[in-house]
Amino acid sequence: MADAKVIPFDDDRSRGGAQRPARRRPGGSARRKADQAAAGDSLVREAPAREASRGPQVRGAGVREAAVRDAAVSPLPEHPEHQAVVAAAGESDAGDESAPSGGGSWDRRIAGGLAFLRRRLTGDYEVDEFGYDAELTDQVLMSLLRPLSEKYFRVEVKGIENIPSEGGALVVANHSGTLPLDGLMMQVAVHDNHPAGRHLRLLAADLVFMLPVANELARKAGHTLACAEDAERLLQRGEVVGVMPEGFKGIGKPFSERYKLQRFGRGGFVSTALRAGVPIVPCSIVGAEEIYPMIGNAKTLARLLGFPYFPITPTFPWLGPLGAVPLPTKWTIQFGEPIPTDGYPPEAAEDPMLMFNLTDQVREQIQHTLYKLLVQRRSVFF
């Protein structure tokens, strides 16, 4: 409606006629002369006599006709009814503009997807020295994991503000669940909920990088080998690094020992945090212990396959591939108060007593939070 123009009601252009001047007609004899020139009708000369003989009602009609003619050439906004029509038309146009905008949104998505595919096919994308592909992680991997986090496990995230908005940080979490889904859910929790949009770089075991498909996906998602050198380099670059010190002892423990933290190794993660001078953020995950209730361990079969354990659950291997579907438990991931390390001198990383004390402090904080979350939990599945 922004380009629409007001057309007088008596405009002959819409009927193919000659254009009339958009001004008020002159009165008296001048008006009659204009009418004679326009129409060429001799009866116009008799109009004054007929008008005088018709009486006041007819003369009133003439006045009304003049008013109509005046209204025809006046702008529409001066008339409330016309304003209502214009307003309604404007709203209609606004609605029409919203439809293309939705279509434009889909067009942009399709164009972005095609551009993404073109970059992947031509190799026009970047990975860091560890193999991390930020674009693939944001647009593909996180999109695949997000429904599992939001719809299936319904992960509730608490204390995400305890992860600093900038600079390095070491997130230390408990490990459980037979398969390492807890690390992936923690990565989605940081990626989707941190106000600064931070990414979590997980330290993974050697076995992850020995599997054909898992190796490539883990590298693309930002995971790296769980060694002090790689962790320290990431922390010094200002990355948020995640580690689960329990390792296979935690993820492969029987269901009867659920939510009981195993030994945290020799405290290597504390030494790494001290060298980098970054805070340690304890993280407690509730809900992962019940996705695969491990009631047995086929150790002989595990040795033949080269696995640290071979789990036996109420559904696996009895139901085949269907038994590998995790139970839809309700998860809670809570990030605790950070423990600063920048106040210690550089040689503190070589002090075994300090490392032991800090390791025990982190472990106790995670264990206490686990117990508190279990008390608050209404049900395993709700």
Number of helices and strands (H, E) in the chain?
13, 9
Give CA separation, 28 vs 25, 45, 47, 50, 56, in Å: 10, 12, 11, 15, 18
pLDDT at residue 305 tops 60: yes
Q: Which residue has the higher pLDDT, 118 or 26?
A: 118
pLDDT level of residue 224 (50, 70, 90 thresholds): very high
Token output for 116: 């993404």
From CA 253, how far away is CA 376, in angstroms rounded? Answer: 24
Q: Domain 134-291+326-376: give its CATH code.
A: 3.40.1130.10
**Mean pLDDT computed over 256-261:** 95
> What pLDDT was estimated at residue 124?
86
User: What would the pLDDT profile of 173-207 be if each residue is shown by its tens digit?
Assistant: 999 999 999 999 999 999 999 999 999 999 999 99
User: What would the pLDDT profile of 103-116 be if each residue is shown by its tens digit?
Assistant: 578 888 888 889 88
Question: What mean pLDDT value characterizes the chain?
Answer: 80
> What pLDDT was estimated at residue 103?
59
Q: How many Cβ atoms from other residues are within 10 Å of residue 69's Cβ?
A: 15
Q: Where are the domains of the chain?
A: 134-291+326-376
* Radius of gyration in angstroms for the set of CA atoms belonging to the chain, rounded to a whole number: 39
> What pLDDT was estimated at residue 102?
53
Contacts of 349 (CB under 8 A, 6+ apart): 271, 274, 275, 355
Q: What share of the chain is helix, strand, coil (3-state, %, to 5)?
A: 55, 10, 35
**Mean pLDDT computed over 169-176:** 97
